[in-house]
Structure 1
Amino acid sequence: MRILFWNTNRNKINQYIADLVRDYNIDVLIMAEYEDERDELESLLQSYNKPLVEYNTLGCNRISFWSNYADVEPGIQDTYYSIQIIRRKCIVCCTHLFTDLHGDRSEERLAIIQQIMQEIKKLEVEINSKKTIIIGDLNEMPYGRGCLNANGFHGLPALKMEDSATRSVNNIEYRKFYNPMWNLLGDFSYPPGTYYLNQAKLNSPMWYMLDQVIISQEIIPYFRKESLKIITTCGSADLMDKSMHPNKEISDHFPIMCEIDEEVNTI
C-alpha cells in the first residue's frame, strides 16, 4: 500500500497530482487544500490506468481521500481530520491542523490531537485492530508538543517492536507511536523539510517538517523505511523553484510518500 500526502495549496495542479500517482504507483492519495476539478483528476487517473476513487470525507472539507481499495469505510469526519478504515484492519487518520504563522496556537492544536487520539483508541477497540497510520499537514515540527508529547501523538524518533508499548508519566501510561520523519530532518539528504519559510525573527529553522506520517507500533513490521521520502519531482516538472524550495506556483509544500506492506490489511 503506497500512500501519498500533499497539501496542494488550493492550486490548479491536477496534472502534477496524476503524474505523481502514476510515477510512484500510489494506492492511497490524500490531499489537503485540494480545490481543483475532481472530474478532471479522475479522467487523468483513468488515462494513466490508475483509477482511484474519491471516498467520503463529508464534514472534513480540509481533506480529500482517494484510493484504489474497494473496502474503505469512513470513520469520524471532523473539521481538522478525516479517519478512514481500509479493509476493517487499517486505520488511516488524515489530518490538516492549523498553523502558527499568525500566532502560537500550540495549545489548541494539542487539544485537537488529544481528541484525535481518543477517537483512534475507540475505533481500534471497535474493529479490534491497532494498525494505525496518522498522516497529513500537522503544522508543527516532529519535536513540537503535539507531535512528541506523551499526551499528544507521542511520535518518537526511535521505536522497535520489542520495546515496551507504553511509558509512564506521573503514573499515567501513554502508548508509544513512531515518527520516522525525524530521520529526514536536516541536510544529510535533500530536501531538509517539506515547507520553507524565511521569517524575519531570531528563532527560525527556515525549513519545516510540517507534513508527517506517524505510525502505531503495530504497523512497524509492515513499514518500509526505505520508501519514506519527500518528493521534489514528477513527470510533468520539478516541484521546486530555482532556489530548490517548493515552487509556490505548484504548491508551497512538497508531497510525502510511504509504503506499508499489503499484509497489514490481511493479518
Structure 2
Amino acid sequence: MSYINVLFWNVQKKNLTPQIVNLAHNRGIDILVLAENPVSSVQLIQALNTTGPHYFQNHPLSQCKKITIITKFHYNSIAPIEETARLTIRHIHLPTGEDFLLTALHLVDKGNFTAESQNEAASLTADQLIRVENRLQFDRHIVLGDFNMNPFETGMIKANGFHGTMSSEVASLGYRTVQTREYPYFYNPTWSLFGDLNKDVSGTYYYKHAEHVCYEWNVFDQVLIRPRLVPNFVKDSLEIIQTDGVTSLITTRNTPNQSTYSDHLPLFFTLKF
C-alpha cells in the first residue's frame, strides 16, 4: 500500500518559500497545492530541490493563475483537463497505476461578493465538476481549496451546490433525489475541524468584526471527496497545520500569524492506495 500526502495553503500573495519548503520536507508532501502564490514555479522548485526529494513544477499548460500545483511526480501525470480563472481540474495518474480527479480552487470571497453570489458560484462550479465527471465517465474525485465558505453554508450543502455532507455513511448512498433529479454527494470531513479539541486552533481562518453575528473562526479551506474515493481517504490524517516544522504559523493567541505569514492555515491529509 502506498500513501500520498496532500497539502493546501492559501499564502495570501506572500513569498513564503522558506515555510513552504519546510512544510514539504517535514511533512513528506507529495501533492502541494497553493492559492494566491506570487512565486514562480521555477523558483519554488529550485528551493524545494536544494535538499530532500525531487519535485516537479506546475504543469506549463496550466492557465489558472490563482492555483499552483507542485508534485513529486512529473507534471505530465497531472495534466489539466479543464480550467477557469478560479479552478483547475486535473486527472492524476500515480506511479502505482491508480488515478483520480483532483480539482483545486479558490472561490469568490465574502469581502467583495454577497452570500447570494457565493451560492451561485457554488452551483456553477458544482455543475462544471459534474459535467467533467459525466464526460469522462469517472467520478473518483477530490476537490480542495479555499471555498471562502464554511462547511455549513448554503453553497456547500445545497443539493445543486457542492452537496457536501459531514457523514461518510450518508455520502456512501451516492446521491440524493430532489424533485425527481439526482444530486451526487461529496463527503466533507472538514466539518470535524471546528473547535479547539485536541488542537490550539479552531479553524483555518480567523476574522473578528463588530457585528452581532460573528463566528470569528472559520473553516474556509476544505476538502470534498466523492463516495468512490472515500475508502482511500485516511480520516485521522486530516489536520490544520500550526507549524512548518521549524517555526510556528500562529500567534501567542493561537490565531494565524498573518502579519508574518498568511491569514490562512494550511490543510493536510493523506490518501492511501
With normalisation by structure 1, the TM-score equals 0.92
Which residue pairs with 2:63 in the alignment?
A: 59
Q: 1:40 to 1:155 in 2, by over 3 A?
A: same
Equivalent position to 1:218, from 228, 247, 250: 228
* Structure 1 residue 260: Cα displacement: 1.0
The 8 Å contact of residues 62 and 80 in structure 2, kept in 1 or not, is answered as no
Long gaps (5+) in structure 2: none
Q: 1:183 to 1:93 in 2, by over 3 A?
A: same
Long gaps (5+) in structure 1: none
Q: 1:172 to 1:138 in 2, by over 3 A?
A: same
Single out whichever of 54-63 and 189-198 deviates more from structure 2: 54-63
- For the residue of structure 1 that corresponds to 2:90, the secondary structure is strand
Aligned partners of 2:172, 2:23: CA distance in 1, in Å?
A: 36
Which residue pairs with 1:203 in the alignment?
A: 213
Letter in structure 1 aligned against 2:152: Y
Q: 1:40 to 1:162 in 2, by over 3 A?
A: closer
* Structure 1 residue 12: Cα displacement: 1.5
With normalisation by structure 2, the TM-score equals 0.90
The 8 Å contact of residues 56 and 65 in structure 1, kept in 2 or not, is answered as no
Query: How many aligned residue pairs are there?
Result: 261
* Structure 1 residue 246: Cα displacement: 0.5
Aligned partners of 2:111, 2:104: CA distance in 1, in Å?
A: 21
Alpha carbon RMSD of aligned pairs, Å?
1.8
Equivalent position to 1:166, from 166, 175, 181: 175
Equivalent position to 1:8, from 8, 11, 31: 11
Equivalent position to 1:233, from 230, 239, 243: 243
Q: Is residue 92 of structure 2 the alignment partner of residue 86 of structure 1?
A: yes
Deviation digits for residues 177-226 of structure 1 (CA, Å, limit 9, x no counterpart): 10000111122232210001111111111001010001000111110011
* Structure 1 residue 57: Cα displacement: 6.3
Letter in structure 2 aligned against 1:228: L
Q: 1:56 to 1:136 in 2, by over 3 A?
A: farther
Aligned partners of 1:202, 1:156: CA distance in 2, in Å?
A: 28
Give me the identity figure in percent. Answer: 28
The 8 Å contact of residues 72 and 84 in structure 1, kept in 2 or not, is answered as yes
Q: Is residue 160 of structure 2 the alignment partner of residue 151 of structure 1?
A: yes
Aligned partners of 1:163, 1:212: CA distance in 2, in Å?
A: 19
* Structure 1 residue 162: Cα displacement: 8.4
Which residue pairs with 2:265 in the alignment?
A: 254
Q: 1:14 to 1:163 in 2, by over 3 A?
A: closer
